């Protein structure tokens, strides 16, 4: 039985009875809380359900809706990547799982409270803050982050009013990962093509008025170190009404290196060289929309009065695979900048052992480390009694933001396996039943509430010929969820 929003304690009791009906008739059941309903959270839950019998899991999420970066980070024209939602849905609908949306760690409850009310707690809430360049004039108008821009067109609540200024002719993306290439593709794509996706209606409207013709994709190292994958590059090269322009000088000695490259790097380098070879010999600016990757450049200054007008770069050379600045400089005019140089997690509770420098939870293989360790301080491996029993982290919060969804899956399965082994080895002692999160007086969204929101989004999308029209107003989401039937 699914739950709606329960504002009273009596309703909470009904919800607990629905999900944990066997709790009083069997041995003590492992009770686990997963904080964060993105890929890391769902993959962790999936593994525990399969390998730890009779365990009960609460997945707690600060938004009223689940799926994290799959919903708000994956490009709208990549629906195949979102198919993993079907697997996550099966996990959420397991009778041993509760989804509790609209509840925030550090705001609605504390880590201490969770540890007192569950046998084990897993922190999987991801990385939601941008890395910055820390160069002059970074606060100029029209200097944004790719994360903000992606959140805007993907409908993440709180970003619907970003309104990026697309009235200029050029956009510069600083960073050459897949997020940057996705953003370039969305900006340079035909709006008629995007209309078929779940991109937000307000983003479609803004993109339809866009005057952006050139997108620069700037990286500090060379083509052999490009961070984007071959899939993203192929999509850019095939983009209709858009020309890709490479700088020939960036490819000095690249072709001769190809035979010795590992196969994945070899294939993407061959594709870049092929595209360069097929490039029109005339070096004039092409008519129409243009995608221009630029290598060996690091931004050192944003130039502009009030808003950004150009970016000044230092020209780099490679030394042992690292970008080393030279005395040469280059300035390239631009009307809008999005930095795409990675994310970092934030600590949302004072009791989280968090490494501010690395931007992730201090952990060893997923087990959260104690703040004050005893024993040898030479290496982590030498220290005894180093783990916070029953406390774990997985996904980007534990590893830092790297890799794709498959990377997160493998990491989360590994951490979930540790959890299962710690229960089975009695490292986590089941000395008594745990009550779970106290929900009395807290407005939360159950899985049934999410299904009501989902149905409304699909209904709104069908009216526009789209898979869905995402809701961005949390108040509206809560109202829809509160009206969901039992």
- Does the residue 419 lie in any domain? yes
* Ordered alpha helix ranges (H), 210-315: 230-237, 263-277
Q: Do residues 70 and 59 both lie within one domain?
A: yes
Q: What is the pLDDT of residues 178-231, one digit of tens each?
A: 999 999 999 999 999 999 999 999 999 999 999 999 999 999 999 999 999 999
Q: What is the pLDDT of residues 86-120, one digit of tens each?
A: 999 999 999 999 999 999 999 999 999 999 999 99
Q: Do residues 378 and 332 both lie within one domain?
A: no
Number of Cβ atoms within 10 Å of the Cβ of 377: 9
Q: Do residues 423 and 354 both lie within one domain?
A: yes
Q: Count Cα atoms within 13 angstroms, Cβ side, for 321.
A: 3
Q: Do the annotations mark residue 403 as ligand-binding?
A: yes
Distance, CA of 165 to CA of 185 (rounded, Å): 17
Q: Do the annotations mark residue 41 as ligand-binding?
A: no
Q: Do the annotations mark residue 179 as ligand-binding?
A: yes
Last residue of a domain, one of 287, 321, 342: 342
Q: Do residues 246 and 289 both lie within one domain?
A: yes
Looking only at the bridges linking them, the beta strands covering 367-369 and 387-393 are antiparallel
Q: What is the pLDDT of residues 404-425, one digit of tens each?
A: 899 999 999 999 999 999 999 9
Helix 263-277 / helix 230-237 crossing angle, nearest 10 deg? 20
- Number of separate helices (H) and strands (E) present in the chain: 15, 20
Last residue of a domain, one of 313, 342, 371: 342
**The two three-digit tokens of residue 17, written as one number:** 């009875």
Q: Do residues 94 and 148 both lie within one domain?
A: no
CA distances to 53, 450, 460 from 480, in Å = 35, 9, 13
Q: Do the annotations mark residue 221 as ligand-binding?
A: yes
Q: Do the annotations mark residue 220 as ligand-binding?
A: yes
Instruction: For the chain, give the longest Cα–Cα distance.
Output: 79
- Does the residue 13 lie in any domain? no
* pLDDT at residue 374 in the model: 52
Q: Do residues 276 and 211 both lie within one domain?
A: yes
With CA atoms as reference, report the closest residue to 328 among 316, 345, 346, 310: 316
Last residue of a domain, one of 280, 308, 342: 342
Looking only at the bridges linking them, the beta strands covering 56-61 and 97-101 are parallel
- Does the residue 450 lie in any domain? no
- Does the residue 187 lie in any domain? yes
Q: Do residues 297 and 396 both lie within one domain?
A: no
Q: Do the annotations mark residue 176 as ligand-binding?
A: yes
- Does the residue 20 lie in any domain? no
Q: Do residues 169 and 218 both lie within one domain?
A: yes
**Structural contact between residues 361 and 393, judged by C-beta atoms closer than 8 angstroms:** yes
Q: Do the annotations mark residue 163 as ligand-binding?
A: no
Mean pLDDT calculated for residue range 134-154:
97
Domain CATH code at residue 435:
3.40.50.720
Total structural domains within the chain: 2
Q: Do residues 258 and 162 both lie within one domain?
A: yes
Q: Do the annotations mark residue 232 as ligand-binding?
A: yes
Q: Do the annotations mark residue 148 as ligand-binding?
A: no
Q: Do residues 334 and 353 both lie within one domain?
A: no
Domain span at residue 261? 131-342
Model confidence, pTM: 0.89
Q: Do residues 210 and 253 both lie within one domain?
A: yes
- Does the residue 473 lie in any domain? no
- Does the residue 467 lie in any domain? no
Residue with tokens 């307000």: 202
Q: Do residues 211 and 327 both lie within one domain?
A: yes
Domain CATH code at residue 197:
3.50.50.60
* pLDDT at residue 1 in the model: 34
- Does the residue 477 lie in any domain? no
């Amino acid at each position: 039985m699914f739950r709606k929003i329960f504002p009273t304690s009596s309703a909470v009791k009904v919800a607990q009875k629905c999900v944990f009906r066997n709790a009083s008739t069997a041995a003590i059941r492992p009770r686990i809380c997963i904080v964060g309903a993105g890929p890391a959270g769902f993959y962790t839950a999936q593994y525990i359900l399969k390998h730890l019998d009779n365990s009960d899991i609460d997945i707690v999420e600060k938004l009223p809706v689940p799926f994290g970066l799959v919903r708000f980070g994956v490009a709208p024209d990549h629906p195949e990547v979102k198919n993993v939602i079907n697997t996550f849905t099966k996990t959420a609908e397991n009778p041993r799982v509760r989804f509790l949306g609209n509840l925030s760690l550090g705001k609605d409850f504390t880590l201490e409270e969770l540890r007192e009310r569950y046998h084990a707690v897993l922190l999987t809430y991801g990385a939601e803050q941008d890395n910055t360049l820390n160069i002059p004039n970074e606060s100029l108008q029209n200097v944004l982050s790719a994360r903000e821009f992606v959140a805007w067109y993907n409908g993440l609540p709180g970003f619907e009013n970003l309104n990026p200024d697309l009235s200029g002719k050029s956009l510069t993306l600083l960073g050459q990962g897949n997020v940057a290439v996705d953003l370039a593709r969305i900006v340079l794509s035909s709006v008629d093509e995007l209309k078929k996706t779940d991109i937000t209606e307000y983003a479609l409207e803004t993109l339809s008025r866009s005057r952006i013709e050139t997108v620069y994709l700037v990286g500090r190292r060379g083509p052999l170190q490009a961070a984007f994958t071959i899939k993203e590059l192929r999509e850019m090269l095939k983009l209709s009404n858009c020309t890709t322009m490479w700088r020939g000088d960036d490819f000095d000695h690249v072709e001769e290196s190809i035979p010795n490259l590992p196969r994945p790097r070899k294939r993407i380098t061959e594709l870049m060289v092929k595209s360069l070879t097929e490039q029109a010999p005339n070096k004039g600016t092409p008519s129409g929309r243009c995608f221009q990757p630029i290598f060996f450049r690091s931004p050192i200054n944003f130039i502009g009065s009030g808003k950004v007008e150009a970016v000044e770069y230092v020209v780099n050379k490679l030394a042992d695979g690292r970008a080393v600045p030279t005395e040469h400089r280059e300035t390239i005019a631009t009307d809008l900048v999005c930095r795409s140089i990675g994310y970092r997690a934030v600590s949302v509770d004072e009791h989280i052992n968090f490494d501010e420098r690395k931007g992730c939870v201090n952990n060893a293989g997923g087990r959260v480390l104690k703040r004050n360790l005893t024993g040898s301080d030479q290496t982590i491996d030498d220290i005894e009694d180093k783990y916070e029993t029953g406390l774990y982290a997985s996904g980007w919060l534990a590893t830092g933001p790297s890799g794709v969804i498959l990377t997160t899956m493998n990491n989360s399965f590994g951490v979930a396996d540790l959890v299962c082994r710690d229960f089975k080895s009695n490292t986590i002692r089941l000395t008594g039943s745990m009550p779970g999160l106290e929900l009395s007086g807290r407005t939360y969204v159950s899985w049934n509430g999410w299904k009501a929101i989902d149905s409304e989004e699909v209904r709104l999308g069908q009216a526009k010929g789209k898979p869905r029209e995402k809701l961005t107003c949390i108040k509206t989401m809560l109202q829809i969820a509160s009206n969901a039937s039992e």
